[in-house]
Amino acid sequence: MKTLNEAVRQLKRRPKHPVRATVDGLIVEVRVVLPAQDDRSAAELFAQVGAWQGESTDEMLEFLARARRGGSQRPVPDL
């Protein structure tokens, strides 16, 4: 992308995929920040999934890794 406007247009088409643009020699990455209602804690996510059915540690780690790759993110708090 050559402008921020182009990057935003691309981001609107595919909001889960960050877009890079070069603006005045700077490479800028633009991404969507999840709305506040999607900011769930790990405890809330576990409650939503329900009781565990004997999954191994490796299965649990894979489940969490898939969730992270799928966009489960929390915003960094302001300092």
CB-CB neighbours of 31 under 10 Å: 14
Global pTM reads: 0.42
pLDDT at residue 52, rounded to an integer: 67
Asked, for residue 62, whether it belongs to a domain, the answer is yes
Count of domains for the chain: 2
pLDDT at residue 73, rounded to an integer: 61
pLDDT at residue 55, rounded to an integer: 76
Asked, for residue 78, whether it belongs to a domain, the answer is no
Residue of 46, 20, 27, 34 whose CA lies nearest to 70 = 34
Asked, for residue 77, whether it belongs to a domain, the answer is no
- Give mean pLDDT, residues 40-62: 77
**Res. 62 pLDDT band, cuts 50 70 90:** confident
CA distance 29 to 13: 16
Residues of the domain holding 59 = 35-71
Which pLDDT tens digit goes with each residue over 9-40?
A: 998 898 888 999 998 899 999 988 866 556 67
